[in-house]
């Protein structure tokens, strides 16, 4: 099982590519959705779609086998509970790396960490899509 973390607020082709890349590494793709409060704290803005809406959208993507809401206080608890074989990080997820490796070692988890590739980041980076949509409103 491969586990992928993210906000997935405004789904776009870059996200679909991310799911396709992750799915190539394992039969089961589990997506962990960031809670609204954590998005606001980490990204300094509200989501357009709340966590329930984002989960509902993701559950309708055929590439995804399971969707889980992330933990509000300890991001890594979902890893401890689900014990993935592989953890996929997006090309721009910088805050997960070193702390994640330390957590896996400390908890004797053997998950492999992989980094997924960018897909048209000059056009399909979430904040760029968000800014474009907001400029149209």
**41 a catalytic residue:** yes
**43 a catalytic residue:** yes
Q: Pick the catalytic residue from 43, 66, 125, 128.
A: 43
Contacts of 130 (CB under 8 A, 6+ apart): 9, 10, 48
Q: Pick the catalytic residue from 24, 40, 41, 105.
A: 41
DSSP assignment letter at 26: -
Beta strands in the chain (DSSP E): 2-6, 29-33, 66-69, 86-89, 112-115
Instruction: Give the angle subtended at the CA of 96 by the CAs of 93 and 100, to the nearest 5°.
Output: 150
- Residues taking part in catalysis: 41, 43
């Amino acid at each position: 099982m491969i586990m992928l973390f993210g906000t997935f607020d405004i789904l776009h082709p870059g996200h679909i590519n991310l799911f396709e890349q992750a799915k190539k590494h394992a039969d089961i793709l589990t997506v962990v959705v960031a809670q609204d409060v954590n998005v606001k704290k980490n990204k300094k803005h509200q989501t357009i779609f709340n966590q329930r809406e984002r989960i509902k959208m993701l559950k309708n993507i055929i590439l995804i086998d399971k969707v889980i809401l992330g933990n509000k206080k300890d991001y890594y608890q979902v890893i401890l509970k689900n014990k993935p074989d592989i953890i996929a990080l997006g090309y721009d997820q910088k805050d997960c790396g070193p702390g994640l490796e330390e957590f896996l070692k400390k908890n004797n988890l053997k998950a492999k960490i992989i980094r997924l590739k960018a897909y048209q980041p000059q056009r399909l980076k979430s904040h760029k899509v968000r800014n474009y949509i907001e400029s149209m409103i």
